[in-house]
Amino acid sequence: MEVISKNNSHGGVQGVYRHASDITMCEMTFALFLPPLGLTPPPVLWYLSGLTCNHSNVMEKGEYRRLAAELGIAIVCPDTSPRGENVPDEADNWQFGSGAGFYLDATEAPFSTNYKMYSYILNELTDLVAENFSVDMTRQGVFGHSMGGHGALVMAIRQPGRFKSCSAFAPIVQPMTADWSSSAFAKYLGEEKETWRAYDAVALIEDGYRFPSILVDQGEADSFLESGLRPWLLEKACKDAGMKLDLRIHPGFDHSYFFISTFMEDHLRWHSSSL
């Protein structure tokens, strides 16, 4: 593992690291904030970024370090997809390929060789973090934004024994039918839509998967609200399943990091109460 940078911040350390991945078959970069270390290792909170982003977006604009240091939470920010000259991509399509891995394990060639972000985060990157940093992997939470909100919901709902908390900013709650994700699912997973359900939060809940409690914040002025995000679908699925969802709609807020940073502290406190 290569150290790209380290910066002191709020008594902790914000680092950026690179390593060769056996799962995505390319070099991967991630950020990790370690709070001031106390007598016990801190819990780990995973932040999954949205379309077109990488580890740096939330690291530079998310405004999480002050409170994460105060609460004693380590924040891990993976990339959103594999990258590199040998990784297949559609350079003119921001909704697919580089920056748009959708946190799934692709099964269709040529994407199945590299696009395995689900396994990469849950297995390889988790092991790497556990081996190289003083953190408590028995206490993990996950949250994210947009495509990353989709990833956070799916990972938590499928792994309720692993994650103790879950939240999302403006998540894509039903990517199987959303305008900007259904075409990507077809390329990554094939045309058999039944297999897509494993990476769709609403479908997973309909299929009997459960998570104790989820927090979702959504901006009412989000330009993607009607075509891509549609939180009311998650609200209905949770209601029908008897699953607790705290869905908060905020007038005047869009899809940007101005929105995310405004409510970041609420999410950190939400996770801290469980971690």
Would you please indicate which residues are annotated as catalytic (active-site) residues? 146, 222, 255
140 within 8 A of 162, measured Cβ to Cβ:
yes
Please, is 172 exposed, middle or buried when counting C-beta atoms within 10 Å of its C-beta (0-12, 13-18, 19+)? Answer: buried
d(CA 174, CA 83): 26
* Residue 199 CB coordination number (10 Å): 25
Q: 229: buried, middle or exposed (CB in 10 Å: 19+, 13-18, 0-12)?
A: buried
d(CA 201, CA 178): 12
Report the C-alpha gap between 208 and 249 in whole angstroms. 26
- Would you say 176 and 182 are in contact if contact means Cβ atoms under 8 Å apart? yes
Q: Which long-range contacts (CB under 8 A, 24 or more apart) does 155-158 make?
A: 155/46, 155/48, 155/103, 155/118, 155/121, 155/122, 156/211, 156/214, 157/201, 157/204, 157/205, 157/209, 157/210, 157/211, 158/198, 158/204, 158/209
Spatial distance between the Cα atoms of 233 and 4, rounded to a whole number of angstroms: 41
